[in-house]
């Protein structure tokens, strides 16, 4: 069998300038999805060249799981102190933010600086360092590759947060363990579902690729149920619910589950579409079966609703 030779391409041959060439390329949907897959966060581009204090972030996105800001700073050269200073300025100007620094090459000192920032900040701040490379085989088109150089230590941050909370009940601690177990189960079984960091609460959020919409998995120890919610929020929640109801309800009852509840919830700001089943979260010997139910139905929700939401 004859194989081709992988050839590394100079970034400047593909993108002459960061602001007029690379940034618009990265902001396109198919390319931001590639970055999303690498870091495990569903991103939705909001604006390019966004002002943050005295500086301008290259791309402003939303993490669609929680509507927190994600700022992307691009550098087609080796990392430098100027860009590191800008990243810290961005973090200082926002209450909760994820920052992604993309560069041709990370120096060891700048990688260590991002690792340090991830250690000393709580889980409302996250710093990613990414190197980008281009490759081709023969006369093929150039293909980008993102390499993760630095990332948040989610486990360490969640442990630190729990340790600082003096009043966590046994139930809260069990909830956090449950969501960590579900996250591990999804990862180990090849699921593309992206959960948020496990927290000591009865729900966890999952991105679905559209701001003002997100999935959540929920457990109730009061009535021993498991549920999946498609939450519809924001100023246009009721209008968006009505549109979705008209175009997708009948099909959803056939393709997801006939027991699916479509709740406009006129007395609340949000609306929701909910699937519920029986399950006792407190019984660890049942967790694997519960995790299988969540995996199957979270993937079904995502595969059904995500293409529809992208067109809305």
**Residue-wise DSSP of 232-252:** E-STTHHHHHHHHHHHHHHHH
The overall average pLDDT reported for the chain is 88
Report in angstroms the alpha-carbon separations of 272 from 21, 55, 228, 253. Answer: 40, 39, 10, 15
What's the first-to-final CA gap in the chain, in angstroms? 47
Check pLDDT > 80 for residue 118.
yes
Place of tokens 């929700």: 301
Q: Determine contact, residues 152/41, Cβ cutoff 8 Å.
A: no
Distance of alpha carbon 263 from alpha carbon 244, whole angstroms: 12
Q: Structural domains in the chain?
A: 6-152 (3.40.1350.10), 165-310 (3.30.1460)
What is the predicted pLDDT for the residue at 167?
A: 62
**Helices (DSSP H) in the chain: which residue ranges?**
11-14, 23-27, 29-39, 81-92, 108-120, 154-164, 170-188, 237-255, 287-310
What is the predicted pLDDT for the residue at 247?
A: 95
pLDDT band for 84, please (50, 70, 90 cuts). Answer: very high
Place of tokens 């709580």: 122
- 2: helix, strand or coil: coil
Check pLDDT > 60 for residue 195.
yes
pLDDT band for 239, please (50, 70, 90 cuts). Answer: very high
What is the predicted pLDDT for the residue at 163?
A: 46
Q: Determine contact, residues 289/185, Cβ cutoff 8 Å.
A: no
Q: Determine contact, residues 281/175, Cβ cutoff 8 Å.
A: yes
Give kind and range of the element (H or E) at residue 167.
none
Report pTM.
Answer: 0.65
Residues in the chain: 312
Q: Determine contact, residues 110/128, Cβ cutoff 8 Å.
A: no
DSSP string, 198-227: P-SSSEEEE--SSTTEEEEEEEETTTTEEE
Place of tokens 């989610």: 154
Tell me the torsion sign for CA atoms 13, 127, 44, 193. positive
């Amino acid at each position: 069998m004859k194989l081709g030779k992988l050839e590394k391409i100079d970034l400047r041959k593909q993108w002459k300038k960061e602001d007029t060439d690379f940034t618009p390329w990265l902001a396109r949907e198919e390319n931001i999805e590639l970055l999303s897959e690498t870091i495990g966060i569903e991103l939705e581009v909001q604006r390019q060249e966004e002002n943050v204090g005295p500086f301008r972030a290259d791309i402003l996105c939303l993490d669609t799981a929680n509507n927190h800001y994600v700022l992307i700073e691009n550098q087609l050269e080796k990392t430098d102190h100027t860009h590191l200073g800008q990243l810290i300025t961005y973090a200082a100007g926002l209450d909760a933010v994820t920052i992604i620094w993309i560069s041709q090459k990370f120096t060891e000192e700048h990688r260590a600086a991002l690792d340090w920032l991830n250690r000393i900040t709580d889980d409302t701040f996250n710093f990613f360092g990414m190197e980008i490379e281009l490759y081709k085989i023969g006369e093929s088109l150039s293909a980008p590759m993102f390499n993760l150089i630095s990332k948040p230590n989610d486990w360490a941050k969640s442990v630190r947060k729990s340790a600082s909370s003096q009043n966590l009940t046994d139930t809260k601690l069990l909830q956090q363990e449950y969501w960590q177990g579900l996250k591990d189960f999804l990862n180990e079984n090849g699921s593309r579902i992206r959960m948020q960091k496990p927290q000591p609460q009865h729900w966890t959020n999952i991105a679905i690729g559209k701001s003002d919409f997100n999935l959540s998995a929920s457990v109730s120890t009061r009535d021993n149920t498991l549920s999946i919610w498609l939450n519809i929020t924001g100023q246009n929640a009721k209008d968006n619910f009505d549109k979705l109801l008209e175009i997708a309800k009948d099909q959803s009852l056939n393709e997801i589950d006939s027991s699916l509840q479509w709740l406009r919830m006129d007395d609340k700001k949000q609306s929701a579409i909910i699937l519920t089943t029986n399950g006792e979260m407190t019984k660890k010997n049942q967790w694997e079966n519960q995790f299988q139910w969540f995996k199957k139905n979270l993937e079904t929700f995502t595969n059904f609703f995500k293409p529809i939401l992208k067109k809305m």
